[in-house]
Amino acid sequence: MRLELRKAHVTGLEWGSPTRMENGVLYVDKEGLIAALSDDDRIEKWDADLARPGESVRIIPVKDVVEPRVKLEGGESYFPSVVGPNDTAGEGATFVLDGAAVVTVGPIMGFQEGFIDMSGPAAKFSPFAELFNVVLIAQPVKDLEKHQYEEAIRVAGLKAAVWLADCCKNAKIDAVEVFEKGTVAEELKKYPDLPPVVHLCMCITQGLLHDTYVYGADVKTCLPTLLHPNEVLDGAMVSGNCVSACDKTTTWHHLHDPVVSELYAQHGKTVNFLGMIPTQESVVLAGKERASSFNARLCHELGAKGVIITEEGYGNPDSDLCLNVNKCEALGMSTVVIADEASGTDGASQGLADATPQMTAFVSCGNVNEMLEVPAMKKVIGFIESIAHVSGGAAESLRPDGSMYVELQSIIGSTCETGFNKSGSLWV
């Protein structure tokens, strides 16, 4: 597979018609954007707003973050089987509005959304504070079922991202990234002396608005499978969950999976990168045992000597994590875990809800329970009262002056367990 990501760098964001890129500035036709989403009768009213790096703006509660992209060659539209047709992702050329994002916001339906601050102490914990964000605010029709509302707003975010990119696809290209790799058999033959490595990507798949999708299929109903790295970097995986904000793997994170990109960079040099296995985190023991057995066996059948395991969420997924480590190690494969910790506000408690002596290489993405005071912002996009129901927030978190006292886990992407974050933990 050969994939080109053709990037136009976004350095400014304004309202303007028509939607276009001009001298690095993304101009968005607000009426056109809302009209592109108006075909879903589950949403009573759409609105849109803009948020730029450094502004005194708080966005809450955030559902998903999506990078604007569209296929130029090798497929139609984007996000196959969700927005676009069921094409295989990862081939041809894709246009990217680099530095921009679509952020979806709406009245909270679950207890695990979060917020983005574009400036202040919370901004340093989220990559989205550095992006030029087009924010969609959805007001659902009365008495709409929660899962219907969540589906509507998440699909709308994907559609909006494709619409923006499609409007700008003739813009000047500032950079091109090329990703090219053969089949597993070809790469094993090509690099016989390099250790074969697999990325095992654990995904929240627990139902009740906690789901992840691969080519439009709900991963909780699927057995583990192998994806070419290009598929991951080209929209095959999308987020559909309300997991705690800190370690939610948003759609943007899937498109920028740092484990995939770093292993790709080392492919043919220090490792032989075989691919990624997206796998479920079941809510029942039998499901955890079944998935972990399939994961280990698939890695082993591929010839892997090393497995890098990333988690999503914490709590009962820690059992899936330990099972994956145990079964891979039992088959002779070395494992490295990337995950965050829930160690209490003082950092003194056990970081995971489960443990195993086989887990000897652990990269910590930080303590989700760390407390943080964030000042009031001049502007709030969304529903500030949602902080009362956010993981890491409470009714008393919001103060009369608009400032908040919250746990780190209330900030979107602050301890993302793919490693795309700026926080970690020092072990002593």
| Catalytic (active-site) positions | 242
How far are the Cα atoms of 107, 209, 282, 348 from residue 46, in angstroms, in the given order? 12, 21, 34, 45
How far apart (Å, rounded) are the C-alpha atoms in residues 426 and 328? 27
CA dihedral 30, 33, 38, 40 (to 10 degrees): -130
- Reported residue count of the chain is 428
Whether the Cβ atoms of residue 356 and residue 326 lie closer than 8 Å to each other: yes
- Would you tell me how many other CB atoms lie within 10 Å of the CB of residue 14? 12
Nearest CA-CA partner of 101 in 134, 53, 62, 79? 134
CA angle 230, 239, 210 (to 5 degrees): 140
In the structure encoding, which two tokens stand for residue 414, read together? 């602050």
How far apart (Å, rounded) are the C-alpha atoms in residues 290 and 320? 10
